[in-house]
Structure 1
Amino acid sequence: MTDGIKDKNLFVICHSYNYFQKDPFDLIAPHVASIYVSVRTNPFAEIGKHLPILRNEIFSSVDKIDRTNTPENTHVYSTPIWYLPTDRGYKNLGQKQYNRVTSLIQKKEIIYDLIHCHFVWSAGYAGARLKEEFGGPFVVTAHGYDIYSLPFMDDEWREKIEYVLNTADHIITVSQSNLACINRLNVSTPVSVIPNGFRSDIFYPRDAVSCRTLLNLPHDRKIVLTVGYFDPIKGHTYLIEAAREIISKRKDVLFVIVGLGKLQTTLEDQIRSLGLEDHFLFAGGKPHSEIPLWMNASDIFVLPSLNEGNPTVMFEALGCGLPFVGTRVGGVPEIITSETCGLLVEPADPKGLAEKILLALEKEWDREAILAYADQFAWESIAERIIGVYNQVLE
């Protein structure tokens, strides 16, 4: 499958180089000549740490680029673009990113055979313009908000997103739910649905007792874990509301929240108002390599999101053999298709969420069955499918 790309150079345009935007490319790297990666960064992030209006809205280059174990043939460049997190600033970002990417290519004398962009906007716009100006095949991956939200916000956004998708030689998207959104647009480009995945060399079962000891977590509590940025779309407020119902029925539950974000103070106030301080632990942001310890120390993983594309943490939890409780949004119900691996509830339903968490805490889960199911979502398998798309467009 890889013979068609072994002498090819891949140019990647993305918004960050970590997790799901890094892992598959690290596995693709041995099968290509070189990979050049342009990561969009915002210099405002460096001063934003000191300005309340910007704090937690944008991330610095340190947050967005993970150079750990980067393959020798992979070259990662920060592409700084000044912009404010406003609708107009974001709409202008596509042209700005194209200009900066073009300068990077010229400065570094990058020669590429294929462009792959993560997120339709703004990386996808830069890729579309490069194809128009200089030719060469162009693949774009639509992940989440860039396809289920942006094109339906107004006519200008719809035109921009349709332009990118129709310019691409092939579209990858991570869920059938996203595909349905693409089908609502005037787009004729072929689409492949390829889900996100997980690092099987990092996310695997470990001894729960050892993990709890290492993390200084109690051994006599049921631990419910959630991981993610504190944003309204992630549904943390509904999990806290559900916790009130759960604690009224059993007092041995500890909710552990790993992450950072602008809503933390609001969430902490909500917990105090409900008298749940003894049942919640804000663990803060953690390195990706540490997340498996938290997962293996837990009894179940919960994702109460109001919308999603195809959440990587879901696959990572399954890779650890951890039962999943989540909402029927985005690609989640396409993965959690039976109660062997998890339980689902409608979004924004704290009572229903409480019922499912209580059921999950009582259930005897077959961890081996969860692991066997998760195996198909290891990044090794996903990378092979992406390479298959590359071979198609290069032919």
Structure 2
Amino acid sequence: MKSNNLLVISNDFPNADNKYVREIFVKEQIMFLKEYFENIYVVSPIAIGMEFLRKTHYENYRFENIHVYFPKYFNCPLFFKYCRDGWIYFEEKAIQKLIRAESLQFDLIHAHFTWHSGAVAVKVKEKYNVPLVITEHTSQTFTDAIEKKETQFIRSWNLCDAIIRVRKGDIPLFERVGIPLDKVYYIPNGYSHKSFLNLDSQNSRKQLGLPSNIKIILNVGNLYDEAKGHKYLIEAMNIVIKQRKDVLCFIVGGGILETKLKKQILSTGLEDYIKLVGSKPYTEIPLWMNACDVFVLPSLSEGNPTVMFECLGCGKPFVGTKVGGVPEIIVSDDYGLLSEPGDPNELAKNILSSLDTSWDTKKIKEYSIQFTWGVVGKKILKVYSKIGATSLRLCVD
């Protein structure tokens, strides 16, 4: 590689202070990768009007050798269903304008999510003739793309140089749409071991102002998508409190579902047992993880949830559902318990069981080491090397 610069294209990206944390795992990943490049350019195009809808503001920023850009572009909701080529056209136009204005030079592209970043990245690859890696993170979206043989997905996978899939069990599905498996790699998501480490539980509770004499159940996630299963967590808690009253469930995160969930909590009389505490700074999440007795993620669908790895990194048991890549990580009852999605009775049973279990924190923590960005990142670097990033080979061999 001549300049050894990486261009990252992502559907979303945190702002400078991490108060907006969508796709925080992409930022955490490049925090490891930055050591192997002169510069990393992150481009996350923002549709005009999206700042208003998300109630946030995007400004370009830089830290160390990472340059983050949020170019604005025109989009239309109808493009999602009726004219995806129009979506790609306007987004690619905004990226090309940015590349010219900033005189960006890069030798490798990594796109996160096939739609829509991967589809746009293919256009950029064609113009600049550089290798392209696409990481596919989604669950239901991916499955639908395979079953419906969606053109934008298949074209992107055919024209990129390598595909990273976060769920191992999905890899054979690529053959159904004619994608050779020798260009597909299984690499799970990871977590920052420097941020998510085992801390004293009582001290963490003290810093957060949480009670010390109860069992704390924790969920962390944005309240935008019903697929995250918050409804079933509330239903499960209604069952849990009939068995024991010394519990308190905290749901950390904000979004459009907050009002609906508040009504559900009130209608079931659980306001003393479930607290919606809103969004919290990302730097505060490790304290919440360490303050809890058990972490619960009741999702109806998932790719490879970052919070699962962060939970394990803090030595905490994970109670979740058998969706996406979760069963590939929680392979033993030593690390957590899994239930069928959408089943509050089984979820409640696992929550109660987890609260009665003496978990081996050290064993959970040791298991999590294989998912740190240091380990996962080196696997990504090897993929880069295989598709032409020759200057990286000495770093990862």
Q: TM-score if structure 1 supplies the norm length?
A: 0.90
Distance between the aligned counterparts of 2:107 and 2:185, measured in 1?
A: 20
Aligned partner of 1:282 among 276, 287, 290: 276
Q: 1:26 aligns with which of 14, 22, 31?
A: 31
Question: Is structure 2 residue 299 aligned with structure 1 residue 305?
Answer: yes
What amino acid is aligned across from residue 382 of structure 1 in structure 2?
V
State the TM-score, normalizing by the size of structure 2: 0.90
Over 3 Å counting, the alpha-carbon distance change for 1:66 and 1:351 in structure 2 is farther
| Residues 1:76 and 2:68 aligned together | yes
Which residue of structure 2 lines up, in the alignment, with residue 108 of structure 1?
102
- Partners in 2 of 1:285 and 1:112 — Cα distance? 35
Aligned match for 1:17, one of 13, 16, 29: 13
* Aligned mates of 1:283, 1:329 — CA distance in 2: 26
Q: What is the count of residue pairs matched by the alignment? A: 376
Q: Cα distance, 1:120 vs. partner?
A: 0.5
Give the Cα–Cα distance (whole angstroms) in 1 for the partners of residues 321 and 257 of structure 2: 20
Structure-1 residue corresponding to 2:200:
207
Greater mean alpha carbon deviation, residues 208-217 or residues 294-303: 208-217
Partner of 2:355: 361
Matched to 1:130, the amino acid is V
Deviations 1:288-310 (A, max 9, x none): 11100111110000000000000
Superposition map of 1:305-344 within 5 A: 305-344=299-338
Amino acid at match of 2:73: I
Provide closer, same or farther for how the CA distance between residues 85 and 325 of structure 1 changes in structure 2, counting only shifts above 3 A: farther
Q: Which amino acid aligns with 2:351?
A: I
2:130 maps to 1:136: yes
Q: Which amino acid aligns with 1:97?
A: E
Matches of 2:170 and 2:55, distance apart in 1: 26
Kindly report which structure 2 residues correspond to 1:168-187, keeping only aligned pairs within 5 A, or say none: 168-187=160-179
Q: Is the 8 A contact 1:97 1:122 kept in 2?
A: no
- % identical equivalent positions: 40
What one-letter code is carried by the residue in structure 1 that aligns with 2:135? T
CA RMSD of aligned residues (A): 2.0
- 2:253 is aligned with 1:268: no
What does the per-residue CA deviation read over 1:135-194, in whole Å, with 9 as the maximum and x for residues that have no partner? 111111111158525515856xx0110000100000011112442443432323611111
Structure 1 pair 153/247, CA: closer, same or farther in 2 (3 Å)? same
Maintained 8 Å contact 1:84/1:90: no
Structure 1 CA distance for aligned equivalents of residues 203 and 82 of structure 2:
48
Q: For residues 59 and 15 of structure 1, do their structure 2 counterparts lie closer, same or farther at Cα, with a shift above 3 Å needed?
A: farther
Give, in whole Å, the separation in 1 of the partners of 2:258 and 2:12: 23
- Residue 184 of structure 1 aligns to a residue whose secondary structure is helix
Distance in 1 separating the partners of 2:369 and 2:83: 38
Instruction: Report SS of the residue matched to 2:70.
Output: strand
Q: What is the DSSP-based 3-state SS (H/G/I as helix, E as strand, rest coil) of the residue aligned with 1:305?
A: coil
Question: In the aligned structure 2, how far is the partner of 1:195 from the partner of 1:385?
Answer: 10
Match of 1:392 among 374, 378, 386: 386
1:95 aligned partner: 89
Question: What is the alpha-carbon distance in structure 1 between the residues aligned to residue 229 and residue 254 of structure 2?
Answer: 14
How far off its partner does 1:263 sit? 1.1
Which segments of 5 or more consecutive residues in structure 2 lack a partner in the other structure? 15-23, 391-397
8 Å CA contact 2:135, 2:163 repeated in 1:
yes
Q: Does 1:148 align with 2:153?
A: no
Tell me which moved more, 297-306 or 223-232: 223-232
